[in-house]
Amino acid sequence: MARKAKGKRNSLKNKKDATLKKMRLSFQLVSAELIEAEIILDDCIYEFNERFETGRRREIVEPETIEEADSTDIIPSEAVFEEEEQGEEEQEEEQVPVEDVDEEILNRDKDLKDLFKKIALETHPDRLGDSDDIEHKTDLYKDAAAAVKNGDGMTLLEIAYELNIKVSIDPAKEIEWLNSKTRNIQHKVREMQNTAEWIWYHSDGAERGRVEMMVQGQLGFKVRESNLDDNIDE
């Protein structure tokens, strides 16, 4: 029996829904990869610090940003963390009361504006009174305000879901937000994988010897005295 063709409108809706589901799964996957990468990097840093005297560094010329490093450069993990901390500090400085949030930013995106205002109704410090979770909700409000500054709709959605706020976002808009957030997370994971600690930890044999020479030459880290015999054996 021949299948009846669906209307064009239904076909487009189904396609958007399917794409949205795919993007949500992709976002969950890269979020899990970020958590895994953070755990692995902790192990990398511990073992790296056992191997090298990382407190001793000579002055070296480093790229202004991580993106400018070429394939032969290895980056100490603190370069990644310092960049992240600086970004967090800048976000904290931009966390302002709801009435002072730049309306121009909100007016660029109606979905962003509507979502932020719903969150503000639940989390603005002036509306919390003697709530038991005032500290947590205040933090959520600050995160939401920072997300507005960055045009980060996906973070707003996550906050809204946490607060059980009913939201209605066009699938195309959510796909756009998911794509942006996913790319940011993937970039963070790549930064971690490009640190000296990660590269050294995941190398072995002759490759590890080459990496250790780069670590000593580019970063000025010395092998700890207790590990000198290992170098001789290698």
DSSP structure string for 158-227: HHHHHTT------HHHHHHHHHHHHHHHHHHHHHHHTBHHHHHHT--HHHHHHHHHHIIIII-PEEPGGG
Q: Which residue has the higher pLDDT, 164 or 99?
A: 164
Q: Looking at residue 75, what is its pLDDT?
A: 66
Number of Cβ within a 10 Å radius of residue 181: 20
Task: Calculate mean pLDDT across residues 33-60.
Answer: 82
* Percent of the residues in the chain that have a pLDDT greater than 90, as a whole number: 34
Local confidence band at 167 (pLDDT 50, 70, 90 cut-offs): confident
Q: Looking at residue 233, what is its pLDDT?
A: 53
Give the span between the Cα atoms of 168 and 213, in whole angstroms: 55
Q: How many CA atoms lie within 13 A of 184 on its CB side?
A: 13
Task: Calculate mean pLDDT across residues 63-77.
Answer: 51
Q: Extract the tokens encoding 62.
A: 């480093």
On whether the CB atoms of residues 113 and 106 are closer than 8 A, the answer is: yes
For residue 112, pLDDT beyond 60: yes
Domain chopping of the chain, boundaries: 18-233
* Percent of the residues in the chain that have a pLDDT greater than 70, as a whole number: 68
Local confidence band at 133 (pLDDT 50, 70, 90 cut-offs): confident
Q: Extract the tokens encoding 57.
A: 């560094």
pTM given for the model: 0.68
Task: Calculate mean pLDDT across residues 64-79.
Answer: 53
Q: How many CA atoms lie within 13 A of 58 on its CB side?
A: 9
Give the span between the Cα atoms of 213 and 216, in whole angstroms: 5
Q: Looking at residue 59, what is its pLDDT?
A: 37
Give the span between the Cα atoms of 88 and 97, in whole angstroms: 18
pLDDT in tens, 188-199: 999 999 999 999
